[in-house]
Structure 1
Amino acid sequence: MTKMTLGSYPHMLGFEQLERLLERTAKTGNEGYPPFNIEQTSDSSYRITLAVAGFAENDLGITVEDRQLVIRGRQADDSADRVFLHRGIAARQFQRSFVLADGVEVGEAVIENGLLHVDLSRSRPETVVQTIQIKKG
């Protein structure tokens, strides 16, 4: 059995980039930490919320790289000066990636009560009708 690709469909032209995006999304390696929610806040906006308890603003980084929203967290490990009788809260780092569709823009990011909120909005594409002239060859 052969793998069906978007290029296998003769009426879908130029979707190779979408196929690469889907493959990249499958390879992002996002583990279960930190947990997150994605909610639709209006017809054209979304909010990603990550549980980042223990992370300060300067421990977090948000970038958009090639239509991919990447949220990273890295806490400084200050345990060298401390003696733990029990350590159940580890300073861990994370990276969460979200592939953004064309027209989706990242708005503001706010941290409150241990939750990082990242707002996204989608612009409405213009409807374009183009008439192609037929030339005699």
Structure 2
Amino acid sequence: MRTYDIAPLYRSAIGFDRLLDMFESPDSMTSANDWPPYNVEKTGEDQYRISMAVAGFKPEDIELVQQQDVLIVSANKRPEPGGVQYLHRGIAARAFKQTFTLIDHLKVVDASLNNGLLTVELKRDVPEALKPRRIEIVSAAGDAMAGAAGRPAQIEHEPAKQAA
């Protein structure tokens, strides 16, 4: 397995420590349990969708929990009343727990189960105070001659004296 030294990235990656830590631990990059199959889509500038194939599960069998920056999708199949006898069972109804790490300010806005497909809609809503803002740079030297709008003040010359 090829390894990379990412130590130089720590110098310029302020606030991305967790992301870089994930690259250092290879077991966090792959999941031992890739069931059920799922897709992650970007549907807009700040909108995402997770689609999971959960055939055989009912809405009451599935639990979605968001804890800060983690979304946990888990399910337990409840036993069917009447004791169904299967001759062949090809639709897996085994319990699962899938965990997704979310970026900051990403919230679940909707979840639905339709035709065996669980769809979770997510939206990133960054508070106004945390959005990027432009900062004006003011020069400290030479501002004595500057006008109110930051332009150099015009110095009037004295009118020429007329000969009497």
Following the alignment from structure 2 to structure 1, what is the Cα–Cα distance between the partners of residues 93 and 63?
16
Query: How many angstroms does 1:2 deviate by?
Result: 7.7
Look up the match of 2:20: 19
Change (3 A) 1:94 1:6: farther
Following the alignment from structure 1 to structure 2, what is the Cα–Cα distance between the partners of residues 45 and 66?
18
Work out the number of aligned pairs and report it.
130
Query: How many angstroms does 1:60 deviate by?
Result: 0.3
Query: How many angstroms does 1:123 deviate by?
Result: 2.2
Change (3 A) 1:5 1:65: farther
Aligned residues with identical type, % of pairs? 32
Q: CA RMSD in A?
A: 3.0
Structure 1: runs of 5 or more not aligned:
132-137
1:14-68 residue CA offsets vs partner (Å, 9 max, x unmatched): 432333455474264331x211122222111011111111101111011123411
Task: Answer yes or no: is the 8 Å Cα contact 1:106–1:119 preserved in 2.
Answer: yes
TM-score scaled by structure 2? 0.63
Query: How many angstroms does 1:129 deviate by?
Result: 5.8
1:66-117 residue CA offsets vs partner (Å, 9 max, x unmatched): 4111111110244983433333334301122211111211111111111111
TM-score scaled by structure 1? 0.74
Structure 2: runs of 5 or more not aligned:
137-164
Greater RCO, CA 8 A, separation 6+:
1
Structure 1 residue ranges (4+ consecutive) displaced by more than 6 angstroms after TM superposition: none
Look up the match of 1:98: 100
Change (3 A) 1:82 1:111: closer
